[in-house]
A and B are shown apart, each in its own frame.
Chain A
Amino acid sequence: MATIAKDIKHTAGGENKRTLLDMINTRDELTSQSGHYYGVTELSLRDSDPIKYERFYSKIHASVLAARESARYVAASPGSREMGEVLWGLATPEGDTLAVSAGFLSHTAIFPVAVRYMAKNQYDVNDGIEDGDVYAVSDGLTGGVPHPGDFYSFVPICIEGEVIAWAIGINHLMENGAPVAGSWATFSVDTFMDGLVCPPMRTGRKLKQESWWKAIWERRTRAATMNILDDKMRLAGCAMIHETTHKLIEEFGLDYYKRAIREVIEESRGMVVDNMKSTMVPGTYNGCAFRLVKYKGLQNVWAHADKNTLIHVRGSVEPNEKGIKIDAEGSSKWGYHSYNATPGGTDCAIFLGMINSFSHNTKVTAGIELAVQRNYPRGSIYNPDNEFTSNSNLWAQTVALNSIGFGAVSRGMFSRGYLEEAFTIDGNWGAFQGQGTTEDGSAYGFTNFEWLGGTGRGAWCYKDGEPLVWAAWSQMATIGDAEEFESTIPALFYLGRKLLPGFFGYGRFRGGPGNSAVHWCVEPGKHLALSRPNGGLSCTPSVGLGVSGAYPGPGSFMISARGTNLDELIAKGETPRDARELLEQHESGKLKIDNLEIWKTDCPELSLQNNDLFVDAAGSSGGWGDPLDREPQLVVNDLNQGVSTEYQFLSDMHGVVAEKNELGTWELDEKATMKKRADLRQLRLNESQPVAEWWKTERQMVQKTGFNEEVKEMYQQSLSFDKFRDEFCSFWQLNEDYMSEE
């Protein structure tokens, strides 16, 4: 660090220096007037000397990649080092991304939010922004952060008083100091319960944090050691990028740099739009999802939040000549719960699918943001008209909006014939978090990211989805080492960590199976308690629409088993390894449980004692195609390989008949299978009714608003947006003022 520090350019800021806001206004005017980033209509540097241009970009890209690969090994928590829950990037003075490392790619979308906030609030004019300053950001509204558990370091890179770039580092904290311990503060009612929430604030100078900043981690979070390691990691990476960028400008010259960064972004914008046009089918794609927030009875201190809410996630996707438009109109309004989003945080989610789909063969820059038009209506859950909403669990529901957008891309590619790219998009992640105090009085907080790191991929349109290989939020899916989490959480040990049989969406091709772990509490000391941030919830699957006749993947769930006879089972070597085994052992009487609770929605903080068990299941994904079209032998293979264990369920789902031979191996009965399939098709027709008839009956229920309280409130909120009101009233043939007086 010392060799870097001596080279830092101290910037006084001249009288005629343009402010950051001036620069942003110029950028916006040039871009909107021309339709091209920064008014760049010709890539003159690239076309005149492509080798120099690519060499320039390679150096930028190499610097952010090197930051990731080096800084994680300078100092880092297990979440950052093992699982790569990190990203580094370089942005223009206005915050537009120039390059990002591997990792959390879509966080590129938030860079401009924090920079624009600093510009509008005249940080540069009032306080000065100097080369090598360090800014901390973790606020959704002013920093675009998708949840306060994600923490950002911004380092300005200045030449003679002018900001010419920002180096940025991000990671997901192990603990962020909210009332609910962990890094996604479930049960937050407003932003004041979200933990350590920092609007952009200067915490260091000359690439060194101020002394007070360490005290913040120590006094305002429960995992200070981990968080300080990560803070050093982010800054170390930013320092590397800072040094490389100064050297780059020395080599290429400031004039070349200033022109080249505009061309890089415009080049990738054009490429992204071209990719969209060459792989999609224009039109209107609609999708929906629901999320139940079951807070009733759990929020007694804050009476205004003591209610259940059914969140409606509504998205339409329209490819057009400028790229793609994503419209969230019709989604719920914000509420007194932790699942509200902000425009920046929502961007961070929906860009998962967009970057993965359209930036694969070009430079990952702000070009993608220019190609995706977004509409988040004011007052909605994606753009609250209240500045104090909680955003701590934003990710849990915005991932569903991403699934709608990403799913539309997949459907478009299917229709276009690029079937190799078409698969079912789901978003059933999971994790758990909490706090403890050891016997000697040491307090700690933690997050276990495992089921966020790797989930099942949805079925392809030509083969089954794979387990564990996919995480929409990172290119490098990994669930991390069990031992790392055991060392992070002193009182919890794994009894099992495996795929959960049958836990996926069914179809012609099935989704990748989800995962399940059995966590065993051993001598917790004075206290151990955990909760779930609940990425997906089994009461309301992550996405509302299956693909081509298949079922969406089931949502996540968890089980707490408190007061057990585990010692007896351990002596016999018969402990459960996943959720299914635990339930089966309990049903058979082998595993005795004093207090068994199944959580299909948020679970409050659960205190665990010695030999208590916490079991979770997450990461399932949806199928593709009609289940009766599944190749019968694939069903038999699943039985023989333990992917599914319930013969009768499978037989009725797929119309497959099989028998076990003397070796215990399942064998297909082709003739009986053909008959069963014909019977099931006929049963479908016998048990169904024309939609016209169904509509008439259902309409009467709708006219009488015969929904439960939560569904009714959901419709009241969504109907306050014209687009959904038009659709709803048109579909059910209702008066335009339907439910508007209630």
Chain B
Amino acid sequence: MSEEFEVSKELIKQLVDGTIDDDNAERLLKLPRKDKNRFFNYIEVLQEKVSWNDKILLRLGDKLYVVAKPGGARETQCECGYSFGDYRTNWKLGCKIRTRKTLEEMSRVYTPAPAVPEPGWQEIREFFCPNCGTQHAVEVVAPGYPIVFEMLPDIDTFYRDYLDSPLDDESKDWYQDQSQKKTASWAQ
């Protein structure tokens, strides 16, 4: 099948909404090569879905995006419009967090009883958008584990070398983890 083959925006929307039927999903899974323009069509579908106008650069999660802000910043943003700030800083640091450390607390999210993780060795962390309460991430980790920066995308390389569509504001600084600046400020 040709790489020029296009998957319709309607099908992409069904994928995003979770309404695609099994036959179509299987057809897409069996493509020997993926449609080359998927990303830009995907972004168009997502852009139509959100209520704000910031340009989506990348989708990180179901309701989490990296967007270009009018002033030139690139920020991680919830679907509700809440900004977690510079995308190079782990967005989880801008969340509200609820932890489950006891067997009773963990039993509300794992069942049956023998399947519940072991307190002391593990704790469950839930990360919420401070504005809309969306649960964006869950960690089941050892106590004291640093909050995991799950994905720092190299957006410039992606647009330039993978999509042949370089961004205007390229800079090597865009692929630098800035999370420690935030924790350093907390330590003051």
Contacts and interface: CB of A to CB of B under 8 A. Distances in A.
A538 interface: yes
A415 B58 contact: yes
Given A503-B112, A579-B114, A286 B142 contact: no
A689 B97 contact: yes
Interface string B130-160: 1011111111111111111111111101100
B92 interface: yes
B69 interface: no
A494 interface: no
Interface residues of A, number: 103
B51 to A, nearest CB: 16
Interface residues of B, number: 91
Interface string B94-122: 11111100000000111111111110111
Contacts of A694: 97, 99
Contact of B180 (A628, A706, A731): A731
Given A281-B153, A310-B121, A691-B95, A538 B42 contact: no
B137 A549 contact: yes
B54 interface: no
Contacts of A598: 113-114
Residue among B93, B95, B115, B120 with the most chain A CB within 10 A? B115
Interface string A534-548: 000011110011111
Contacts of A500: 112
Say what secondary structure dominates the interface of chain B.
Answer: mixed
A112 B42 CA distance: 41
A420 to B, nearest CB: 4
A691 B142 CA distance: 17
Nearest to B138: A546
Contacts of A419: 12, 15-16, 42
A626 B143 contact: no
B175 A277 contact: no
B138 A733 contact: no
B25 A684 contact: no
A613 interface: no
B81 to A, nearest CB: 16
A620 B133 contact: no
B187 A733 contact: yes
A708 B122 CA distance: 11
B33 interface: yes
A260 B152 CA distance: 41
B169 interface: no
A696 B161 CA distance: 41
Interface in A400-434: 408, 411, 414-421
B152 A682 contact: no
Interface string A469-512: 00000000000000000000000000000001011001011000
A444 to B, nearest CB: 29
A581 to B, nearest CB: 10
Contact of B116 (A321, A538, A580): A538
Contact of A545 (B38, B64, B139, B179): B139
Contact of A688 (B16, B128, B157): B128
B153 A283 contact: yes
Interface stretch (A3-11, A243-251, A368-376, A550-558): A550-558
Nearest to B38: A417
Contacts of B150: 285-287, 411, 545
Interface string B9-45: 0001011111110100100110011101011011100
Contacts of A685: 96, 128, 130, 133
B173 interface: no
Nearest to A680: B133
A677 to B, nearest CB: 10
A463 B122 CA distance: 29
A281 B58 contact: yes
A576 interface: no
Nearest to B181: A730
B118 A731 contact: no
Contacts of A699: 187
Contacts of B60: 415
Nearest to B152: A284
A503 B114 CA distance: 10
A420 B141 contact: no
Contacts of B43: 417
Contacts of A549: 61-62, 127, 134-138
B122 A628 contact: no
B115 A503 contact: yes
B32 A361 contact: yes
A278 B39 CA distance: 10
A462 interface: yes
A557 B115 contact: yes
B59 interface: yes
Given A539-B122, A545-B139, A688-B97, A620 B33 contact: no
A580 B154 contact: no
A312 interface: yes
Interface string A555-570: 1010100000000000
A695 interface: yes
Contacts of A160: none
A417 B39 contact: yes
Contact of A554 (B115, B154, B187): B115
Contact of B151 (A286, A544, A631): A286
B180 A278 contact: no
B179 A731 contact: yes
A439 interface: no
A639 B161 CA distance: 48
Given A282-B161, A288-B141, A538-B115, 5 more contacts: A462-B15, A539-B121, A549-B127, A551-B140, A706-B144
19 contacts: A288-B145, A411-B150, A414-B59, A420-B28, A420-B29, A462-B16, A500-B112, A541-B117, A549-B62, A554-B115, A557-B114, A559-B114, A652-B108, A684-B133, A691-B92, A692-B186, A701-B143, A707-B142, A730-B183
